[in-house]
Amino acid sequence: MKLSILLVSAMLIAGVFSQSQKATTNRPSLHQRKASFLQRSKPRQNPNSPLPQGKRVEYVYCDPRSPPNCVKNLNETFCLKDVDYPEKDIKYYIEYDPLVSKKHADVAAQSADNLVDGVTSLEEKHFDYSLYNGSPFSRGNWVGGDGYVCPSDVLYVRPKRALNVEGEWRVIVQDNYTQTQRFETCLFPGASCRTIAPCYRTKCVQKYIYQRMLSYDPCDVTKGLFIDIFKFPSTCSCHIPKRFY
């Protein structure tokens, strides 16, 4: 009798242990929970993925080389506003990534006061190029308001999306971790420089700079947050070519 009771008890214990093992085995992995969290309301399977539930998940916008909805002009390489910005995903990954504070750095308060010698932010804000039209022989080349020799548009901004150096669009992390940039774009690229005689054959040239920014790939969520490289407009400079006599 005692032997029978022991055998029944052992079988019950083995059954409970087996069920516990199955429950543990069926528990979704961190990757599965992460993918489930990030899927949109209407996800579509990527046709290029060999697995039915592969790591690469296609959303409404998925081709990394295709311009996102925030791009209004095909020549644009960044977006300052983005109604489709994946704020929930970014918040999730910031919380998920223990090294995010080591990947991020920013000087939030940027202006001419700390980036341009001899010019205040108030002066730069009121530069006036309204009389200049790019022609070295026009009156506007010699008269006009205060400003740079090469008229430019200066912005201190926090881009939401940008085209990386490999031609793929990335989401830029702009949450509690901001990333501020100074963009200076020529208003008349290739035009002559203001207040300089036409005989010098000057021209305004656009300069760029490579910037490293904390980014997110909406077409491959498994990458998490990572550092990517972008090319941004930095300066509009006056170029004086070699003179020919």
Amino acid identity at 214: L
d(CA 135, CA 230) in angstroms, rounded, equals 33
Summarised one tens digit per residue, pLDDT across range 35-67 is 554 444 334 444 444 434 444 444 454 889 999
Percent of the chain with pLDDT over 70: 74
Using a cut of 0.95, tell me whether the model's pTM lies above it: no
pLDDT of residue 137: 86
68-76, long-range: CB within 8 Å, 24+ apart, which pairs?
68/161, 68/169, 70/160, 70/161
Q: What single-letter DSSP state applies at residue 223?
A: G
Question: Residue for token digits 């400079």?
Answer: 237
Q: Are 172 and 160 in contact (CB under 8 A)?
A: yes
